[in-house]
Amino acid sequence: MEEGARHAVHALKYGGLPRIADDLAAAMTGTRPPSDGPSALVPIPLAPKRLRERGYNQSDMLARALARQWRIPVLADLLVRMRETPTQTTLTPETRLANVAGAFTAGTAARWATLVLVDDVFTTGATLAEAARALEAAGARRLYGVTFARAAIPDFT
């Protein structure tokens, strides 16, 4: 991830600046909705404790900003984080997968829907993949993912 993107994501997540989500979404202007017309955007949910600490969900803020551009709804309550998970930032790719395994569940409103998952950063894809599994189990027809940034996978060797 480039330094400017790193600072922007840090400001959104930890700097108490949810208003910059509109700027980040505007920077994603090359991102277009899938051609098969998604039903809605679904932000990756935070665990309740982290949401209370931060006061907002950065993925929800990004999803709402993208929704204004794409003119489709946000289903913020469709996907639920069932348990607290440690932050992924210091985990290896293998432990990231285990960390989020079974962390999400989805409501039946996902049935037959084409949905776009929204998160701030893609590192290994573990979070998006696990969220997609939950939505697929709830009957989603087609799933996509979009993130503001892609991080380099850390080398833990």
Nearest-angstrom CA–CA distance, 135 and 99: 18
| pTM score, whole prediction | 0.80
**Chunked mean pLDDT (size 10), the chain, 157 residues:** 62 64 70 73 91 89 89 94 74 72 87 89 86 94 84 56
Which architecture characterizes domain 3-150 according to CATH? Answer: 3-Layer(aba) Sandwich (3.40)
Nearest-angstrom CA–CA distance, 74 and 71: 10
Nearest-angstrom CA–CA distance, 1 and 77: 29
DSSP character string of 14-39: HSS-GGGHHHHHHHTTT----TT--S
Predicted pLDDT of residue 157:
45
Calculate the CA 92 to chain-centre distance: 19
